[in-house]
Amino acid sequence: MTLPPHISLPGKKRVAGPDRSPVYAMVGNPNCGKTTLFNALTGLRQKVGNYPGVTIEKKIGEAFSQHGRPMKVIDLPGAYSLAARSPDEAVLRDVLLGRRTDTPQPDRIICVVDASNLERNLYLAHQILDLGRPVIVVLNMMDVAHAAGHRIDPKKLEESLGVPVIPCEAIRGKGLVELRLAMSRAELPLARHRWDVPAPIAPAVADLQASLVQNDNRPPLVARAEALLLLTDFDTVRVAGSTPLSDRTHEILAHWRQRWEGEGTDWSATLIRSRYDAINRLCADVIRRTGAQGPSLSDRIDAALVHSLWGWLFFGAVMATLFFSIFTLAEYPMNWIDAHMAALSSWVKGAMSAGDLRDLLTDGVIAGVGGIVVFLPQILILFFFVGLLESTGYMARAAFLMDRPMSKVGLHGKSFIPLLGSYACAIPGIMATRTIENAKDRLVTILVAPLMSCSARLPVYLLMIATLLPSTAVPTTTKAAIMLLMYALGTLGAFGFAWLFKRTLFQSAPPLMIMELPPYQRPHLREILRQMIERGWLFLKNAGTIILGISIVLWFLTAYPKNPDPAATPDAKIAYSLAGRAGKILEPAIKPLGFDWRIGIGLVTSFAAREVFVSSTAVVFNVQHFAGGKRAEVTPLRAALRAATWPDGAALFTPLVCFTLMVYYVFAMQCMSTVAIVKRETNSWRWPLFQIAYMTGTAWILCFILYQTGRALGF
């Protein structure tokens, strides 16, 4: 027997079960402060992974009740509706509906809503309440709502919905105690909100609900909520790992759609209007607006920051400040790390007798890892600025500014959000393309995202700039300008290839951009610093694992087999090794670019990760410097590169070669992890292999033209 086309379930209770802790799902619209609340509840007790079968990030954390009982919290992707239009929204829907075999259906749901945009946020909350599961509604950003002149009555909203409603300011920690108390309750009431399904739609809802109960093993309330979604969601399974619907349910859905199309009935719009009518009646009772309803502070700021002229000037100033800070603020800690690494290597050489073990420690471990750790201060500054721009709400404005130029290449501003993320790392940038609804636009964005200069390129750029321009001779502004030029080249390259792909391989009209600009907020420095430290720690973990391992292997390859001639020069000794022989094989292909076999070793090893180039060159050149087995002071890598020569005595790292090498790393696909993510996102080796071919081919051609033209002009 099906339920009537409205919900009215006062008095029913649901418990998680006495033998295990409750599992909470945290849901909400984008920009509602959901992740901030999740971090505040779980602290450092978080695990980050991906849903099996689809590269969409899931965060699982552990919170504690007021009585010390652990509770699992799953942070689900943000969405405006359960009617999925993109893969991340489909994951949210399928987890809540119990469609995913890899993620158990949550016992309870925390629905975070932005109090300053209550009507819009309640649409998702309204759908969540339909599921018939225990729900806690969190009214976040109450301070923003109050500043906008909105007075919300949480008690009246709680009475209307029949579930706990907690006022909260997650960024300041307000409301967390009350939320934990609500989460600690042994029993939570089910919602008793009512809304009437339009009469023409009610029979279809009843038929689909009956089939979902009988053929898909759904509980009655979940079946009814899913039936309503099926009538507004035209693609019932969007991601791998989701349980498909039964054939009988598909038949019923197709029957009703065909019938309504014949009658000219817009069933989707009818359902959406009906739900919004119920939400508007609810908001009229709980919201009281005070004061003049003029432009908000965010609107007044946006009048300048998204202006067609002033907005671009501000964006350019922000980027210039970022790069200037990377050189000025990081100089002192970098010199400190550099000096201590050199002192450590010299101490080891003095404390140990000559031999392979000492050379492994100094020329493999210390030179390899130290060569990359020295750039940690600049990486931290980059992550701090990115976090600052995200927390203030400016990142969304940057995407808005980019909508017009993006439309010229066939994409829109929403595609620029993953590209912005790719400045930090292409992997989360590519994962962020799951918010793009059009499959062709998503694939184009995936293909060009690695062209944005990520933080892994930063050590390579910085090393080449330091080699090219000694700090004693060139002002910092010049170095920052060169860095900005590298980022600009990558961005222009991404736009150029997006334009090409959209007019050849993936022809389609660019969709209109509809994007929410969140209100500006004061930056929460504690959260920014926490994220900066987490990302910095991940960088150090890479240095301590991947880069350390590669450095040790590379040292072995540069040390063995040993040249039988005891009088051989350092160059002859490394040329005789396995790495030297491999570099010699590669040299004919890269010599037209101005690179020798030693640079070739760095190019090959850096495919594991771009920053490995720095540690590889540190190993290669330090092996030569200390090949005699005698104690010597460690030469900083930058000085060693300036002293490197070709066999005829000509300088190897000339300004032209340094600049060409930076351009190579702008365009070449030098990241194994990115290739793996592209394969997972596209579910095929076709596109990652295509990506490697077009990016590396472009890098070679551009570097060939640049180097040969520069030589012809006398540089």
Q: Between residues 370 and 150, which one has the greater pLDDT? A: 150
CA distance 417 to 431: 11
**DSSP code of residue 100:** B
- Whole-number percent of the chain with pLDDT over 70: 83
Q: Between residues 280 and 454, which one has the greater pLDDT? A: 280
Report the 10 Å Cβ neighbour count for 322: 21
Q: How many CA atoms within 13 Å lie on the side-chain side of 353?
A: 0
Quick one: pLDDT at residue 661? 93
Range of the domain at 178: 13-258+275-286
Q: Does residue 561 have a cis bond before it (omega within 30 degrees)?
A: yes
For the record, the structure tokens of 705 come out as: 């033209």
pLDDT tens-digit readout, 68-123? 788 889 888 888 888 877 777 788 888 888 877 777 788 899 999 998 888 889 99
Quick one: pLDDT at residue 710? 93
- The mean-pLDDT minimum among 390-399, 405-414, 507-516, 562-571 falls in 507-516
Q: Is the pLDDT of residue 508 over 80?
A: no
Number of domains in the chain: 1
Q: 593, 703 in Cβ contact below 8 A?
A: yes
> Which of 450, 496, 382 lies closest to 607, judged by CA?
450
- Determine, yes or no, domain membership for 697: no
- The mean-pLDDT minimum among 203-207, 307-311, 405-409, 622-626 falls in 622-626
- Determine, yes or no, domain membership for 100: yes
- Determine, yes or no, domain membership for 649: no
- Determine, yes or no, domain membership for 682: no
For residue 47, what are the β-bridge partners?
60
Mean pLDDT score of the chain: 79
Quick one: pLDDT at residue 513? 58
**DSSP code of residue 243:** P
Q: Which of 24-38, 233-247, 466-480 has the highest mean pLDDT?
A: 24-38
Q: 342, 334 in Cβ contact below 8 A?
A: no
Report the 10 Å Cβ neighbour count for 253: 20
Unique residue bearing structure tokens 């792909």: 501
- Determine, yes or no, domain membership for 201: yes
Label residue 166 by pLDDT band (50, 70, 90).
very high
Report the run of H or E that residue 440 belongs to, with start and end: helix 439-448
CA–CA distance from 670 to each of 23, 460, 617 (Å)? Answer: 41, 12, 16
Q: Which of 154-163, 391-400, 451-460 has the highest mean pLDDT?
A: 154-163
Kindly report the CATH number assigned to the domain that includes residue 223.
3.40.50.300
pLDDT tens-digit readout, 271-304? 888 888 888 888 888 888 776 566 677 778 888 8
What is the rounded average pLDDT of the residues 226-248?
Answer: 71
- Determine, yes or no, domain membership for 306: no
Q: 225, 130 in Cβ contact below 8 A?
A: yes
Q: State whether the Cα torsion 513-518-522-524 is positive or negative.
A: negative
- Determine, yes or no, domain membership for 668: no
Quick one: pLDDT at residue 546? 64
Quick one: pLDDT at residue 282? 87
Dihedral, CA of residue 560, residue 563, residue 567 and residue 568, to nearest 10: -90
Q: Is the pLDDT of residue 623 over 50?
A: no
- Determine, yes or no, domain membership for 588: no
Unique residue bearing structure tokens 């590889």: 616
